[in-house]
């Protein structure tokens, strides 16, 4: 697409955008008396205007029915989550019974590793990306120690080549091959939180399986951002949070996926609780655990209805928009974002983009390293009405998300960033 760096052109793209009205379904924060440019849907997605009503519905049912709220009212709590799994399964490319909404991301990562990281004396290594999100690094280290291994020996990180920021597929595959007799689990993010690089989930999964290992993915920055086909790609397990691209609120309930082929495996290890017991006899209070015939077998505790309420408000908007339409708009937004950044960055004099330019290798996040005094430039963004974030040592991350960002947002960001850099 041949772009232009002008307000008229950006407004023209907005006029043609079939999804532009969805912005009105969200509260956009203000800076001063102006709507801000919110480029942090990759950190905390904005609040759907319907979220408060959904919370209120749960509160009213609690007031009106007490514990009978599980069975009474318009949306009985016992079945509340059942309308959510099909929407999520569309977003992550899974079958509805492969999805469970529960806990928080790091907790789910641990619970799934309990099931799928089953090291033996000879096959015990975890292969992952270097500089994975810290919570994931802590999870890997503590899991390895839980099984009596030494993280320095058992965790194999794949690094970018010296002087570069991205990890090549060849290096990932070569690392799996090099450890094929000792690797138990290959665990990558879907999209790296720092660089915005998308990993080739299908190819990594295939290589992991050929080496005799399981393949799991942390989709915190992938779910709701890029197109996924977890089931078809034969991914063993995955987990994600719903507060980033999926707009379900700070600390919202998280999601997990377990491939269908594992659901009937009676030898599988799992930490269990009564809410994972088959619904048919969950309330018989019997001493034996009969797992739900779906991913809900991993759910240990009573579903937190107040958290599910905001999640539901958000997912209903996804259902209305259609996830494929969002991905298509996302590609158009980021194409314009790259164009604007290139235009203001004459001869690369101000910054370097470390996110891949190839649309198949990135989602909507763009990470830039600013040459000048990066932190000083960053600190002026918010007073100028722009929400972006800072990652040590020198990276500014911005995400123009298709649900509520506009082409005009990107244009205005370009103008402001250029002004600050040229000062
Ligand atoms: C955001 C993020 C987390 C955060 O974990 P919580 O348990 O939700 O606090 C973990 N891992 C990755 C890769 C993330 O991007």
Ligand 1 pocket residue status of 52, Cβ below 6 Å: no
Cβ-contact 242, 219 below 8 angstroms: no
CA angle (57 as vertex; 51, 61 as ends), nearest 5: 155
| Average pLDDT, rounded, for the chain | 96
Confidence of residue 282 (pLDDT cuts 50, 70, 90): confident
Ligand 1 pocket residue status of 367, Cβ below 6 Å: no
Q: Of all protein residues, whose CA lies closest to atom 1 belonging to ligand 1?
A: 220
SS3 content of the chain, % helix, strand, coil (to 5): 45, 15, 40
pLDDT tens digit string along 362-392?
A: 999 999 998 878 889 999 999 999 999 999 8
Q: What's the rounded mean pLDDT across residues 389-409?
A: 95
Q: What's the rounded mean pLDDT across residues 167-185?
A: 98
Q: What's the confidence (pLDDT) of residue 405?
A: 98
DSSP string, 238-288: EEE-SSSTT---TT---EEEE-HHHHT-TT------GGGB-TTTGGGT-SS
241 CA closest ligand 1 atom index: 8
43 CA closest ligand 1 atom index: 1
Confidence of residue 199 (pLDDT cuts 50, 70, 90): very high
134 is in an annotated binding site: yes
Ligand 1 pocket residue status of 193, Cβ below 6 Å: yes
Q: In the beta sheet, which residues pair with residue 34?
A: 31
Give the pTM. Answer: 0.97
What percent of the chain shows pLDDT beyond 90? 93
Q: Which of 28-32, 70-74, 238-242 has the lowest mean pLDDT?
A: 70-74
Q: Which of 211, 257, 266, 269 is nearest to 232 (CA)?
A: 257
76 is in an annotated binding site: no
Q: Which of 292, 112, 355, 102 is nearest to 218 (CA)?
A: 112
Q: How many alpha carbons lie under 13 Å from residue 54 in its C-beta half-sphere?
A: 22
Ligand 1 pocket residue status of 350, Cβ below 6 Å: no
SS3 224: coil
Q: Of all protein residues, whose CA lies closest to atom 2 belonging to ligand 1?
A: 220
Cβ-contact 377, 390 below 8 angstroms: no
Give all domains of the chain, ordered by start, each with its CATH number: 7-47+322-422 (3.90.1150.10), 55-319 (3.40.640.10)
Ligand 1 pocket residue status of 241, Cβ below 6 Å: yes
CB atoms within 10 A of CB 293: 13
User: Element (H or E) spanning 189, and its range?
Assistant: strand 183-189
Q: Which of 145, 152, 239 is nearest to 190 (CA)?
A: 239
Report CA-CA distances (Å) from 337 to 43, 77, 167, 351, 367. 18, 42, 23, 14, 11
8 is in an annotated binding site: no
271 is in an annotated binding site: no
Ligand 1 pocket residue status of 218, Cβ below 6 Å: yes
Strands 183-189 and 155-158: unpaired
Side by side, the strands of the sheet bearing 155-158 are: 99-101, 255-258, 237-240, 214-218, 183-189, 125-129, 155-158
Q: What's the rounded mean pLDDT across residues 8-37?
A: 97
Q: Of all protein residues, whose CA lies closest to atom 15 belonging to ligand 1?
A: 220
243 is in an annotated binding site: yes
């Amino acid at each position: 697409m041949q772009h232009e760096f002008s307000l008229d052109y950006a407004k023209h793209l907005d006029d043609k955008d079939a999804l532009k009205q969805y912005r009105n379904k969200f509260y956009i924060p203000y800076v001063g008396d102006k709507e801000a440019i919110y480029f942090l849907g990759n950190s905390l997605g904005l609040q759907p205007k319907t979220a408060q009503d959904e919370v209120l519905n749960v509160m009213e049912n609690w007031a009106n029915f007490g514990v009978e709220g599980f069975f009474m009212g318009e949306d009985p709590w016992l079945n509340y989550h059942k309308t959510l799994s099909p929407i999520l399964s569309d977003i992550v490319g899974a079958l509805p019974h492969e999805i469970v909404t529960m806990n928080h991301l790091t907790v789910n990562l641990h619970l799934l590793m309990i099931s799928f990281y089953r090291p033996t004396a000879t096959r015990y290594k975890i292969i992952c990306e270097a500089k994975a999100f810290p919570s994931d690094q802590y999870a890997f280290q503590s899991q390895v120690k839980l099984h009596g291994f030494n993280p320095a020996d058992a965790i194999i990180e794949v690094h970018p080549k010296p002087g570069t920021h991205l990890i090549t597929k060849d290096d990932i595959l070569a690392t799996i091959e090099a450890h094929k007799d000792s690797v138990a689990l290959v665990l990558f993010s879907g999209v790296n939180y720092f660089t915005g690089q998308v990993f080739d989930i299908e190819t990594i999964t295939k290589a992991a399986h050929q080496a005799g290992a399981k393949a799991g993915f942390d989709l915190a920055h992938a779910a709701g951002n890029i197109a996924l086909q977890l089931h078809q790609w034969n991914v063993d397990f995955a987990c994600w949070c719903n507060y980033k691209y999926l707009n379900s609120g700070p600390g919202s309930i998280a999601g997990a996926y377990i491939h269908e082929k594992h659901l009937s495996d009676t030898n599988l290890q799992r930490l269990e609780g009564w809410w994972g017991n088959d619904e048919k006899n969950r309330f018989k209070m019997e001493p034996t655990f009969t797992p739900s015939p779906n991913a809900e077998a991993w759910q240990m505790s009573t579903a937190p209805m107040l958290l599910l309420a905001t999640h539901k408000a958000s997912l209903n908007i996804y259902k209305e928009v259609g996830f494929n339409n969002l991905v298509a708009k996302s590609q158009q937004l980021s194409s314009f974002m790259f164009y604007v950044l290139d235009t203001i960055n004459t001869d690369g004099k101000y910054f370097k983009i470390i996110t891949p330019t190839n649309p198949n290798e990135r989602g909507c996040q763009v990470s830039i390293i600013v040459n000048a005094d990066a932190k000083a430039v960053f600190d002026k963004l918010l007073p100028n009405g722009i929400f972006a974030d800072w990652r040590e040592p020198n990276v500014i991350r911005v995400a123009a998300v298709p649900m509520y960002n506009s082409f005009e947002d990107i244009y205005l960001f370009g103008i402001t960033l250029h002004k600050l850099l040229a000062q």
